[in-house]
Amino acid sequence: MESGRSARKENHLTTKNKNSIERHTRYLPVYKGRKWLDVELPTNSQPWLLGRQRSVVKERGQRSSAAGLLREVVKRGKWQWPKRKLYFFSDLHADADALIASLVASGGVKKTGSKQHALKLTSHGKDAIFVIGGDCFDKGPSNLKLLRSIQQLKQLGARVVLLAGNHDLRVKLGIASVGMDPDPRHDHFFIRMGSKVIPMLREIVDEYLQDKDALKGVPPTRTCRRILYPPKRWFKEFPKIASWVMPDKRMARELKRLKEKIDDFESDCEAVGLSLRHVYAAVMKWQQLFLKPKGEFSWFFKQMQLVYRQGSFLFVHAGIDDRMAKLIERKGIKYINEEFRDSVEDEIFEFYYGPMANLIRTKYRDVDMPLTRKGSDLMHDAGIHTIVHGHANRHYGQRIMLRKGMIHFECDATIDRYTRIKEGLKGKGAAVTIFHPKQLVMGISTDYPHIKVFDYKSFT
């Protein structure tokens, strides 16, 4: 009897999968200009659940199957879908080639030649929304090339949404703090970046500071050190003013790490041929490029948002927690983004160590601000049924995580080349998550052999 019931259930699911495949196949993207790419992209598709642990995961302690839990969550409220096709790219980490391959994978951009700028929007791309999900800086081969590729996408006429990532804001706050009036709340922000900022400084020196007068007017090394580093008294002053946002253990870890970064920074710079005078000159050039109204990249931080919503989907770099869920439910997305812009400009300490920064930093660890069922309920009450984020990188393409009664699409598919080398992934990376008005989500990645398709209609 039981085996017969199981067989009927399996046949029913198989029939649903077949119907889903027949329905969604017509909406799969076409990779235009693929011959100009050096990546392997999947050409066939499969229902998302068939990927099992590589595609969908539930929290520990849940007795029901992942498929059963997913159906329960989907049925909590009717989903509102974007009216336009939406392409989500995350954690590009200074790798322009990864972005370009991902744009082609979306079907929204055609590669027209071997050169990096040989791109044009397809008819689908002209009508779509391109969401860059944060972390454009650090790790990869060229921060500036990536930003120029994003700018080109905008110049082609694409609708581009930029979300803030933890790496982006760490760089912005760190470099913007240089030259500010002394204040223990932000005196450490530059050196806190540590060696991660050095490749970008080297890149700026190579591109802009090569002529013989490049260091003209730059203070002597001792003065540069005093400007770039926090004073010795900072280690006594900071704990007094930051105790309200940092528990003792976190404070001890913060102080320990900063001492290590101070000890290593100058020698790490020298290892790539940078003196502290070069560093200071590069910082001044960065401020000119990014913070001055006529700077080449002044658009980047001006257009940045903390969160973005389309229908029942909330797009954010890292995730959500109860406090932010309550604020979103009460005040809405526009309020969150306005508070973010004001805080980043005027109250950088309060932002970086405050609750809003959890949206760009959380990995749902015990040390992060918690998301409970209460927070998920608030999101559902606000009509948000799905969180879409990057930040936590995966090795088999995108993944659905069922967390506290809320569906999370985890979309950091590890596409920048240096992280791929470090973590043992083969070849170059590309990934895009497509949210289709026909009630489909498609996960495309170089690290999974099929296009993963979440068909909402098959769950309702």
Helix axis angle for 373-381 and 322-331, nearest 10°, is 20
Confidence of residue 250 (pLDDT cuts 50, 70, 90): confident
Nearest to 163 by CA among 83, 90, 100: 90
pLDDT of residue 18: 64
Query: Could you give the CA distance from residue 99 to residue 112 in angstroms, rounded to a whole number?
Result: 15
Q: Residues with Cβ < 8 Å from 39, sequence gap 6 or more?
A: 101, 427, 428, 429, 430, 446
pLDDT, one tens digit per residue, over 298-347 is 999 999 999 999 999 999 999 999 999 999 999 999 999 999 999 888 77
Query: Could you give the CA distance from residue 29 to residue 110 in angstroms, rounded to a whole number?
Result: 11
Confidence of residue 412 (pLDDT cuts 50, 70, 90): very high
Tokens of residue 24, six digits: 């969604």
Per-domain residue ranges for the chain? 2-164+306-459, 170-291
DSSP secondary structure letters along 66-103: HHHHHHHHHTTSPPPPPSS-EEEE---TT-HHHHHHHH
Q: Tell me, what DSSP letter sits at residue 177?
A: T
3-state percent breakdown (helix, strand, coil) of the chain, nearest 5: 50, 15, 35
Whether 152 shows a pLDDT value over 70: the answer reads yes
Whether 232 shows a pLDDT value over 80: the answer reads yes
Cβ atoms of residues 245 and 354 within 8 Å: yes
Better pLDDT: 181 or 67: 181
pLDDT of residue 19: 66
- Alpha carbon 174 to chain centroid, angstroms: 19
pLDDT of residue 111: 97
Nearest to 291 by CA among 180, 141, 217: 180
Q: Tell me, what DSSP letter sits at residue 273?
A: T
- Alpha carbon 375 to chain centroid, angstroms: 22
Least confident segment among 221-225, 347-351, 437-441, 444-448:
347-351
% pLDDT > 90, the chain: 81
Confidence of residue 15 (pLDDT cuts 50, 70, 90): low
- Alpha carbon 204 to chain centroid, angstroms: 23
Count of alpha carbons within 13 Å of 140, Cβ hemisphere only? 25
Q: How far apart are the first and last CA of the chain?
A: 27
Q: Which CATH architecture has domain 2-164+306-459?
A: 4-Layer Sandwich (3.60)
Nearest to 37 by CA among 85, 124, 96: 96
% pLDDT > 70, the chain: 95
Q: Residues with Cβ < 8 Å from 260, sequence gap 6 or more?
A: none
Average pLDDT over the chain, rounded to an integer: 93
pLDDT, one tens digit per residue, over 153-203 is 999 999 999 999 999 999 999 999 999 999 999 999 999 999 999 999 999
414-323-394 Cα angle (round to 5): 10
Pairing, β 45-47 against β 399-403 = unpaired
Cβ atoms of residues 396 and 448 within 8 Å: yes
Confidence of residue 244 (pLDDT cuts 50, 70, 90): confident
pLDDT of residue 17: 62
Give me the amino acid identity at 18: K
Confidence of residue 100 (pLDDT cuts 50, 70, 90): very high
